Structure formats: structure tokens, C-alpha cells
Amino acid sequence: MSNPRILTKPIMFVGTASDVGKSVICAGFCRIFKQDGYHPAPFKAQNMSLNSYVTPEGLELGRAQAVQAEAAGIPCHTDMNPVLLKPTNDQSSQVILNGKPVGNQSAFEYFKTNDRAELFLSVTQAYDRLSDRYSPIVMEGAGSISELNLKKRDITNLRMALHAGAATYLIGDIDRGGIFGSVYGTIALLTPEEKQCIKGIIVNKFRGDARLFEDGKKMLEDLTGVPVVGVLPFFKDIHIEEEDSVSLKNKFNTTTEGKINIAVILLKRLSNFTDFDRLEKDPCVHLFYTSQPQEIAKADIIIIPGSKNTLDDLLTIKNNGAAAAIVKAHKNGKKVIGICGGYQMMGELIEDPDHVEGSLESMPGLGLLPVKTILKPVKTTLQQQFSYRKNPEVCLGYEIHMGETNADFDSPVTILSNGKPDGYFLNEMCWGSYLHGILDNAVVIEDLLADFSTEKSAETFNYQQFKELQYDRLADHIRTHVDMEMIYKSLE
């Protein structure tokens, strides 16, 4: 489809606070611009998330930008997210710059002593490279744009909008309450130059009949002098991969009747929880997150996920009883599998002689698999094609880990396209793999669920088609409730 409009500006979505729905809205606009014949790409200067992805070049970026790139119909690239912070504990993060780790820093070191001018130069260079290849760029801010104590060190929000000349839209979450105070206060705290960037307001997550908010919409416009370009209703029937794992503990936390119950161990530093989105959507499955021993015992299948701090998370589940519950469930004939850090935990020993993760140098694992892991400073980040066990079907996944696991590779879970083995397959009831995304493949899901269901749900549920449909539905949802004519005029 071609479009006669000539777009000269990028678009940026910023928030009155964190978690107002910016990432999902950006994904929706990426799909809208693709549908309308443009060649869009997402951009977020700095992301903080344990949910990451690997580019075709073997570099790391935030998963949200990979999802947005998928919505735009293009391969992801590190220029879409040049700075990624991956928290290793409550006070420090691993810093990923242009797809590669450049070290661990405390929040104080990163925000106070780091050369922000140099970092801002890196992100603007990434944006400039991206904007030479795509148009329009769909930019995402981070957190609140009115944090006065952080603004002078900001490399993500309106400083980036000013560099790009972006038409900027402020998103407020009406579901959490206080929409008038948050929107008015946010705009009131902006400098005149920053206010010039704001072209409109989007009220997100509205429950009920939006016609009842017509008076509220006019009040917001009168208070701020900025038009409200859309009121987006709250939805639960459109499924887009989430950016953050904050809500996992409240999402599902117990078993249910009539389905295959799969317990994902709720780790403190759980990473890449989107590994389980495909399973969560399977009609035969009830997937839930827990660290409670009694709930682990009731599950049919137990999955130990990836972790940004494997040793610390292993110590935690040993202390809270989850580890003992996993071992007991395995002895009782329950199926237990591990992904990445979870695979490492399932072994006999994890060693960290270089203190990659912290002060702990070694710790016995759960002893479920005859493997040993040594954590190393060099990070492996690769997209992979592989075959699962003896199945000829080509599967897709990716590696993000710091460590090598020595195993008896007469029993691998997968064979990579380069001929190397991955993981350890003890038996149908116990195996582990380094591959994120392994559970997105139908042949793996069918094998995982084979003992519990006669339905071959993996054959009838095409996850990629499902995701494409969700992007289209999200685009339709936004078109219905946002003044797209006003949006397009602001980009011309």
C-alpha cells in the first residue's frame, strides 16, 4: 500500500509515569505505519529491563523494541535500543551499549559519575543511523518526563525528542487514577522549549463508555492547552508481549482444574519471561508463576526460567523452600525443565571464579542433571537455528548467557545448525537448555505436553500467525479511538 503523505518528522510517545502503556502503543503505531505503506522502525534510547533479545548480528537489545520491530515487519537492530540496563541486584545493573556489555555499574555510578554527554552522543548517533534507513521513527520515552532531579541527565525523553524534532504525545493512565493532576502537572513542569514538543495527549486504559469522558477531555484541553487526540479503552483481549515482569506475581499464582498446570518458578531476577508466552496462549495449558512449595507440588510441569543473577536466585529458592519442592516433585515423577539460568541451576555445581555475578564463588545446584557450570565474563549472544532431539524440523531460538556448562553431550536437547550440541536431556521428564525461545517451537511444545494431552495443540496453534493477528487488532483498536488525521498532520 502506498500513501501520498510525505512525513518529515518522527513521532514520540512519553509518559506521565512508568508503565502507562507506552511500549504497546508504540508497537501499535509501528503496525499502523506499516499498514499505511511506510517503512517505520522503533527507537528507545535507554531501556531498563531483564527481558532482552538478540539481533541477527548477535547483539543484545530490549525485548520491547524487538516486539515493536516485529510489528513494523523489520529485523531488530541495536540502533533501536542503544542503551540497555539489566539489573543484577537492587543497586546495580549490567550496562549494554550498542548491543555489547560494557560492565556493571551501580545506579549512583551510572547516573552521577558516568559521562552523560558521551552517552547521549552514542544514542543520538544510533538514532541518526536509524532515521537514515527508516521513516517514520516511532520513539518511546522512559518513565515520567517530569522528574526534575533526573532531567539534566536525561538521554531518553524530551532531550531526545528535541534532537530528533519529534512530534511528541503524552500518555496518561486513567486506570490508576489522578489523570488530571498527572497530565497537568507533567506539562506544567516542562520548559517552554519542551512544551513546544508536545502535540497531543492520549488517555490510556479507560474503562466504561468513553462518551462519559467528553467533559473530562475538554477540561484537560482547557487546563493544558494541548489537544486530547485519543481515549484508548482498556483491553484484555489483545495479547502483546509485555516489557516488564513486575506484574507476574499477580498474574497467575496457582493451579486450575481441567488443564495442564505449568509452574514457572518466580525468581527474583527472572529474565526473558516471554519464553513462556507461547505456552500461556496454548488452550490446553494453565501457566502460572510461583515460588510457593505447595503450588509447585501441585503442578504437572515445572519450569525453572532464566535469571540475571543465577547464583543469588539459586540461593533464594534454596532458602524459601522452592528448590526442595522442585527436587521432590521430580522424585515424584513430575516433569522439570530449565531454560538458560534455570538449566544451570539444575546441574550439580555453579562456579563463579571471576565474580561475574557477585561475591559468591560457587554453589551446589539442584543435582537434577549431571552438568557443571562455570560463569565467565564473556557474554554469549546469538540467534540460533537448531533441531530438537531427533526431529528434522528447523527450530528457532537465541542464546543470552555468561557461562559454559560441561555436560555429557551424548544426551543433548538440541543440535545447533553449526553442529554443536546444546543442553542435557536426561529423559522425557527432565532436561535443560540454554536456548531462549525454545518453547516457541511447535515440535518442542508437542513433545512437552505429549504425556498430558491427546490433543496436538501445537499443530493447530500457529504462534507467529497469532502474534501477527494481535498486532493488526492493536492497530485497529488505536485507529478506532485516536484521531489519526491529527497524528499524521503533526508528522508532515
The pLDDT value recorded for residue 306 is 96
Q: Does residue 82 surpass a pLDDT of 80?
A: yes
Confirm whether 436 is a catalytic residue.
yes
Residue found under cell 535443560: 432
pLDDT confidence bin for 88, thresholds 50/70/90: confident
The pLDDT value recorded for residue 458 is 45
Distance CA 56, CA 41 (A): 16
Q: How far is CA 94 from CA 50, 89, 322, 443, in A?
A: 10, 10, 27, 34
Mean pLDDT of the chain: 91
Q: Does residue 206 surpass a pLDDT of 90?
A: yes
Q: Kindly state the percentage of the chain with pLDDT values over 70.
A: 93
pLDDT, tens digit (0-9, with 9 covering 90-100), for 278-295? 998 888 899 999 999 999
The pLDDT value recorded for residue 87 is 86
Confirm whether 395 is a catalytic residue.
no
The pLDDT value recorded for residue 392 is 92
The pLDDT value recorded for residue 13 is 98
Residue found under cell 508481549: 241
The overall pTM is greater than 0.85: yes
The pLDDT value recorded for residue 448 is 95
The pLDDT value recorded for residue 3 is 60
Do residues 161 and 139 touch, judged by C-beta distance below 8 A? yes
Distance CA 471, CA 490 (A): 23
Do residues 201 and 229 touch, judged by C-beta distance below 8 A? yes
Q: Does residue 244 surpass a pLDDT of 50?
A: yes
pLDDT confidence bin for 249, thresholds 50/70/90: low
Length of the chain, in residues: 492
The pLDDT value recorded for residue 457 is 47
Q: Does residue 407 surpass a pLDDT of 90?
A: no
The pLDDT value recorded for residue 399 is 96
Q: Does residue 124 surpass a pLDDT of 80?
A: yes
Do residues 342 and 303 touch, judged by C-beta distance below 8 A? yes
The pLDDT value recorded for residue 210 is 81
* The one catalytic residue among 76, 284, 340, 395: 340
Distance CA 290, CA 254 (A): 7
Distance CA 380, CA 59 (A): 9
pLDDT confidence bin for 255, thresholds 50/70/90: confident
Lowest mean pLDDT among 28-42, 209-223, 247-261, 466-480: 247-261
The pLDDT value recorded for residue 108 is 67
Distance CA 141, CA 168 (A): 10
Q: Which residues pair with 61 in a beta bridge?
A: 53
* The one catalytic residue among 286, 401, 436, 481: 436
The pLDDT value recorded for residue 463 is 86
pLDDT, tens digit (0-9, with 9 covering 90-100), for 138-170? 999 999 999 888 888 889 999 999 999 999 999
